[in-house]
Amino acid sequence: MIRWATLDDIEEMSKVHATTWKSAYKGILSQKFLQTLSDTYWVNGFRKGMEGQKRIFAVAVENHEIVGVIGFGKNRWDFVETIAEIYSLYILPSHQNKQYGKKLIDFAIEALTEKGYTKVMLNVVDKNTPARLFYEKMSFVNTQQIMTSEIAGARFNCLVYERFM
């Protein structure tokens, strides 16, 4: 089941992010950083985003457990009001390849379309081939734009993908 996230979900959402990062970014980000990554690392950011209504979150739920999270809303790069952004999409490794990612993307696209957005963009780590293939399957196109990011002293490239509604 896909539903809107609530403030009561924040700790479980953060745990999904942490668990997924430890799997998806192994060999990409610092192993020391990933090993020490707390399950509560994103709690404050999620709370601020939800309370300030700057970010929208939806969750995938299976047997009363949150197994996936998507964050989306107004884009951070462009001042064009009709361009949205998917900030994050993480599915627990144990629940990947079960259509949760597709369902969360579809949920977000529908919500963004209802708000008048005509295009959505996202960043994906260039070395995260499974994620890139997933987004391409979901009709996102690599714009060939590269953004450099840094987390815990590790620099890496992200590719900008876009999809028209």
Q: In this predicted structure, what is the pLDDT of residue 154?
A: 73
CA distances from 28 to 104, 133, 153 (A): 25, 17, 12
Domain count, the chain: 1
pLDDT in tens, 13-50: 999 999 999 999 998 888 888 999 999 999 999 999 99
Give the per-residue pLDDT at 153.
73
Is 81 within 8 Å of 118 (Cβ atoms)? no
- Cross-strand pairs, 142: 161
Of 75, 58, 79, 73, nearest to 16 (Cα)?
58
Where is pLDDT greater, at 69 or 52? 69
pLDDT for 52 beyond 90: no
Residue 160 included in any domain: no
pLDDT per residue as tens digits for the range 70-124: 999 999 877 788 999 999 999 999 999 999 999 999 999 999 999 999 999 999 9
Domain that holds residue 93: 2-119
Residue 54 scores a pLDDT above 90? no
Looking at residues 117-140, what average pLDDT do you find?
A: 96
Whether residue 74 lies inside any domain: the answer is yes
- Give me the pLDDT at residue 77, please: 76
Which residue in the block uniquely carries the two structure tokens 């009363």? 64
Q: Is residue 134 part of a domain?
A: no
**158 within a domain of the structure (yes/no):** no
Q: What is the pLDDT of residue 91?
A: 98
Q: What is the pTM of this model?
A: 0.94
Give residue for tokens 């005509």: 118
- CATH of residue 109's domain is 3.40.630.30
Any domain includes 136:
no
pLDDT of 62: 98
Indicate whether 86 belongs to any domain: yes
The winner for highest mean pLDDT among 72-76, 140-144, 152-156 is 140-144
**What is the per-residue pLDDT for 85?**
96
Tell me, yes or no, whether 153 lies in a domain: no
Instruction: Examine residue 157 and state whether it is found in any structural domain, yes or no.
Output: no
